[in-house]
């Protein structure tokens, strides 16, 4: 199927052939009829993509500071590679979609196959959308009109925050799609409306919808016009739906308002506010958040948990429904807002209008639903590379990859590509990232069907890089299919999952009758400097003391890695790396551990932790995993105290010896955390029929120790 993407590194909008997405928990698969280009929002993305690297940096000063901090900590080359890789990732475009439901997840009850729905789906022939972001389209509403539902919800949420009442005078600044729908919604509330813009055709539409207008291109004074419009009292409210870097619009809005008037910002403008503007009139200023309550709440949008109507009357979905009701009743007219139509295959022409600032308003993409057979659109596995064109020697290792997120696509998959293994297929839920990663790495197939990988007899090795809550399930399924397994950390996020993996491993056999190899991506073991430390410690006979400081960096409490059910928390999700590293360097079992964190009431506690480890040979280890430091400080620093000498490793770039015989310093020109060596050792072990690079019992020991730390922190 085809999907519209923005290549930020090239500044181009393109069509990409991707596998059909699979509906997951709480979602529906929709065949698109129409989608609407949001000229305002999508123009910003197009402009950003077309900007050069310096201009991109100027537009995102916060990101620039993060890049500079990373460069100081990790090195310039590593940082530049990360930035370029991020910019090269395809960005899916669009969020105004109308189509027919063709499949629903088992837990979705309010939608049925055949329902026509409006949603925030992308510009793609098939989309998967969470159930709370879909609303049924009434029979009397055309596809063309229904494609304005999401834009209408943005306008409606702004109007709700302005809280208009019958007879009030309200100004709408900026008469794009959102602004013109705001005009109509305010008129439906019984308000007198004054529309302000530069463009004559938009002003004429506002007049048709019942507003008085101010033509800025003719030099009209908007403040004087608003004062006159309000009969000298000042307007009751101003809704700003414009997009500009200027700070003047908010200042003008304040001047227009009466005492205790309201200003609602729906668009994007400069926000250098003047205290006197608001103080003297006691004005209210509020920024509207997209479609309404529920936006950016993972529990609502992805988890499918609705808000009780008695407490939150208007959610995103209920705003969608309200817009559709108004369309059905004829109180909202969007057909005059359509300025251009393009078949999906010519979507780039529509975006050229947007990028070149040519006159346009509502740009519809049409999908030719009768011309494409459904089977062609719903294919969940597609060929993206010609294996005959990739000259590689035959390999006994054929890998199927499940998961193609940022780290997997940027670091781990390229690491496996450099081995002798054959990468045959890569899977992702939405299909777009799988197709991108497959094309970039010369992988033959992209799919959204993980069962196809597990059932492919040609694939003898499965690489798992999905969200943490699915790791154990995929490990067990791959072992049950007799395949070798490489799983990105963690191995599991619960004790019953560890038990299930042990049971699956005990019964697993490859087609050749041997036990499959299992590997967790504990790459730090294989870093060149860690290999050097391990060789130096082999000469010491006495116990060692390890001090490992991890400047982990803060992550939002709402991020999926902080969710115990999905990510397991940061200690399980990332802290396992460091427990494994000290276990590897000590070379013996962990016999005791203790953990402590900040007291309750300090926000997220699990990312500010001290872990103490005692080892069987008397060695001790301290891991300080802290998310409350500064990014400019090295992320990882390891110190080893032994035999009157010290080894210090900083960020896998500089290793120093203090008092160490015949060793003083080793500096790498770029950071090396051992990912390539980790992948190579795993592939080599399969190829040679040797033991796993990390013994299975150590993987289980580290998983259980990590879970014990997490449990200790909950006390």
Domains of the chain (ranges plus CATH)?
2-148+321-366 (3.90.180.10), 151-287 (3.40.50.720), 395-520 (3.40.50.720), 523-714 (3.30.360.10)
Rounded to whole angstroms, the Cα distance separating 176 from 93 reads 19
Q: What is the pLDDT of residues 70-121, one digit of tens each?
A: 666 666 666 666 676 677 788 999 999 999 999 999 889 999 999 999 999 9
Q: What is the pLDDT of residue 54?
A: 67
Q: Residue 130: in which H helix or E strand, if any?
A: strand 126-130
Instruction: Say if residues 407 and 488 touch (Cβ distance below 8 Å).
Output: yes
Of residues 645 and 359, more confidence is placed in 645
User: Cα–Cα–Cα angle for 552, 553, 554, nearest 5°?
Assistant: 125
Task: Inform me whether the pLDDT recorded for 483 exceeds 80.
Answer: yes
* Average pLDDT, rounded, for the chain: 91
pTM (predicted TM-score): 0.88
Average the pLDDT over each of 172-181, 251-260, 272-281, 317-326 and give the range with the smallest value. 272-281
Cα-flanking dihedrals φ and ψ of residue 349, to 5°? -65, -40
Average the pLDDT over each of 196-200, 271-275, 398-402 and give the range with the smallest value. 271-275
Task: Inform me whether the pLDDT recorded for 265 exceeds 90.
Answer: yes
- Please, what is the angle between helix 316-328 and helix 149-162, to 10°? 110
Confidence class for position 670, pLDDT limits 50, 70, 90: confident
Instruction: Say if residues 49 and 8 touch (Cβ distance below 8 Å).
Output: yes
Residue written as token pair 């943490």: 468
The HSE-up count of residue 604 (CA atoms within 13 Å, CB side) is 21
Q: Span 567-584, mean pLDDT?
A: 95
Rounded to whole angstroms, the Cα distance separating 546 from 523 reads 19
Q: Span 394-416, mean pLDDT?
A: 93
Task: Inform me whether the pLDDT recorded for 155 exceeds 90.
Answer: yes
User: Cα–Cα–Cα angle for 587, 588, 590, nearest 5°?
Assistant: 125
- Closest among 416, 413, 396 to 405, alpha carbons compared: 413
Q: What is the pLDDT of residues 157-189, one digit of tens each?
A: 999 999 999 999 999 999 999 999 999 999 999
Q: What is the pLDDT of residue 662?
A: 87
Task: Inform me whether the pLDDT recorded for 623 exceeds 90.
Answer: yes
**Token representation of residue 259:** 């005492």
Instruction: Say if residues 287 and 271 touch (Cβ distance below 8 Å).
Output: no
Task: Inform me whether the pLDDT recorded for 715 exceeds 60.
Answer: no
Confidence class for position 358, pLDDT limits 50, 70, 90: confident
Q: What is the pLDDT of residues 208-219, one digit of tens each?
A: 999 999 999 999
Of residues 279 and 74, more confidence is placed in 279
Q: Span 228-257, mean pLDDT?
A: 95
Task: Inform me whether the pLDDT recorded for 254 exceeds 60.
Answer: yes
Q: Span 622-635, mean pLDDT?
A: 91
Q: What's the chain's length in residues?
A: 715
Q: Span 135-155, mean pLDDT?
A: 97
10 Å CB burial of residue 424 (0-12, 13-18, 19+) is: buried
- Closest among 208, 201, 173, 202 to 187, alpha carbons compared: 208
Task: Inform me whether the pLDDT recorded for 655 exceeds 80.
Answer: yes
Task: Inform me whether the pLDDT recorded for 47 exceeds 80.
Answer: no
Give me the sign of the Cα torsion angle 467, 469, 473, 476. Answer: positive
Q: What is the pLDDT of residue 12?
A: 86
Secondary structure (DSSP) of 608-658: EEEEEEEETTS-EEEEEEESSS-TTS-SEEEEEEETTEEEEEETTTEEEEE
From residue 232, how far is each of 168, 374, 576, 600 by CA, in Å? 13, 61, 67, 55
Q: What is the pLDDT of residue 461?
A: 97
Helix, coil or strand: residue 458: coil
The HSE-up count of residue 541 (CA atoms within 13 Å, CB side) is 0
Instruction: Say if residues 684 and 690 touch (Cβ distance below 8 Å).
Output: yes
Taking the CB of residue 693, how many other CB atoms lie within 10 A of it?
18
**Token representation of residue 22:** 């699979």
Rounded to whole angstroms, the Cα distance separating 364 from 356 reads 17
Strand boundaries in 337-450, DSSP class E: 338-343, 362-366, 381-383, 398-402, 422-427, 445-447
Q: What is the pLDDT of residue 57?
A: 62
Average the pLDDT over each of 5-14, 120-129, 405-414, 651-660 and give the range with the smallest value. 5-14
Task: Inform me whether the pLDDT recorded for 50 exceeds 90.
Answer: no
Q: Return the percentage of the chain with pLDDT > 90, whole number.
A: 76
Q: What is the pLDDT of residues 313-342, one digit of tens each?
A: 999 999 999 999 999 999 999 999 999 999
Q: Three-state SS across 509-575?
A: CCCCCCCCCEEECCHHHHCHHHHHHHHHHCCCCCCCEEEEEEECCCCCCCCHHHCCCCCCCHHHHHH
Buried b (16+ CB within 10 A) or exposed e, 390-400: eeeeeeebbbb
Instruction: Say if residues 501 and 475 touch (Cβ distance below 8 Å).
Output: yes
Q: What is the pLDDT of residue 370?
A: 65
């Amino acid at each position: 199927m085809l999907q519209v993407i923005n290549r930020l590194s090239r500044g181009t909008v393109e069509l990409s052939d991707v596998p059909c997405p699979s509906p997951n928990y709480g979602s529906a698969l929709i065949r698109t009829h129409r989608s609407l280009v949001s000229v305002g929002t999508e123009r910003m993305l197009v402009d950003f993509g077309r900007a050069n690297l310096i201009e991109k940096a100027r537009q995102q000063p916060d990101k620039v500071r993060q890049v500079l901090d990373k460069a100081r900590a990790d090195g310039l080359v590593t940082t530049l590679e990360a930035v370029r890789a991020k910019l090269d990732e395809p960005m899916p475009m669009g969020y105004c979609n109308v189509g027919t439901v063709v499949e629903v997840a088992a837990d979705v009850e309010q939608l049925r196959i055949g329902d026509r729905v409006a949603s925030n789906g992308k510009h793609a022939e098939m989309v998967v959308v969470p159930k709370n972001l879909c609303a049924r389209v009434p029979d009397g509403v055309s596809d063309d009109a229904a494609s304005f539902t999401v834009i209408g919800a943005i306008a409606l949420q702004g109007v709700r925050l302005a809280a208009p009442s019958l007879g009030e005078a309200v100004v709408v600044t900026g008469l794009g799609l959102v602004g013109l729908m705001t005009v109509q919604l305010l008129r439906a509330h019984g308000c007198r409306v004054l529309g302000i813009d530069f463009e004559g055709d938009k002003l004429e539409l506002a007049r048709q919808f019942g507003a008085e207008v101010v033509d800025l291109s003719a030099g009209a004074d908007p403040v004087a016009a608003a004062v006159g419009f309000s009969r000298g009292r000042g307007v009751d409210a101003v809704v700003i739906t414009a997009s500009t870097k200027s700070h003047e619009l908010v200042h003008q809005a304040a001047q227009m308002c009466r005492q205790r008037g309201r200003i609602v910002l729906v668009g994007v403008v400069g926000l250098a506010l003047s205290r006197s503007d608001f103080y003297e009139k006691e004005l209210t200023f509020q920024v509207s958040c997209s479609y309404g309550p529920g936006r950016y709440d993972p529990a609502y949008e992805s988890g499918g948990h609705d808000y009780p109507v008695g407490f939150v009357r208007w959610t995103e979905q209920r705003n969608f429904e309200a817009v559709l009701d108004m369309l059905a009743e004829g109180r909202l007219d969007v057909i005059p807002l359509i300025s251009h139509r393009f078949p999906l295959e010519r979507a780039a022409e529509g975006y050229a209008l947007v990028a070149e600032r040519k006159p346009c308003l509502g740009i519809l993409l049409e999908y030719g639903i009768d011309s494409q057979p459904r089977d062609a659109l719903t294919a969940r596995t597609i060929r993206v590379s010609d294996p005959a064109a990739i000259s590689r020697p035959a390999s006994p290792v054929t890998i199927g990859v499940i998961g193609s997120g940022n780290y997997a696509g940027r670091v781990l998959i390229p690491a496996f590509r450099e081995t002798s293994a054959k990468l045959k297929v890569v899977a992702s839920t939405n299909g777009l990232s799988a197709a991108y990663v497959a094309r970039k790495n010369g992988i033959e197939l992209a799919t959204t069907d993980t069962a196809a990988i597990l059932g492919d007899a040609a694939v003898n090795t499965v690489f798992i890089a999905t969200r943490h809550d699915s790791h154990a399930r995929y490990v067990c399924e791959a072992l049950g299919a007799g395949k070798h397994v490489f799983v990105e950390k963690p191995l599991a996020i619960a004790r019953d999952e560890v038990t299930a993996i042990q049971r699956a491993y005990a019964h697993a056999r490859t087609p050749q009758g041997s036990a499959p190899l299992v590997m967790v991506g504990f790459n730090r073991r294989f870093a060149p400097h860690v290999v050097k430390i391990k060789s130096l410690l082999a000469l010491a006979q006495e116990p060692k003391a390890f001090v490992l400081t991890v400047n982990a960096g803060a992550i939002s409490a709402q991020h999926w890695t902080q969710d115990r059910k999905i990510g397991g928390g940061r200690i399980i999700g990332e802290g396992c790396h460091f427990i494994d590293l000290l276990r590897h360097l000590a070379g013996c079992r962990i016999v005791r551990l203790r953990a402590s964190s900040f007291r309750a009431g300090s926000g997220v506690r699990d990312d500010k932790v001290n872990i103490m480890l005692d080892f069987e040979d008397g060695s001790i280890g301290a891991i300080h995993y802290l998310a409350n430091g500064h990014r400019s400080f090295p992320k990882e620093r390891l110190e080893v105290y032994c035999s009157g000498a010290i080894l210090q490793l900083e960020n896998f770039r500089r290793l120093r010896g203090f008092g160490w015989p015949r060793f003083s310093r080793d500096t790498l020109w770029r950071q090396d955390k051992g990912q390539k060596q980790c992948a190579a050792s795993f592939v080599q072990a399969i190829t040679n029929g040797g033991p796993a690079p990390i013994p299975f019992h150590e993987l289980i020991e580290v998983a259980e120790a990590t879970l014990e730390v997490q449990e200790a922190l909950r006390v």
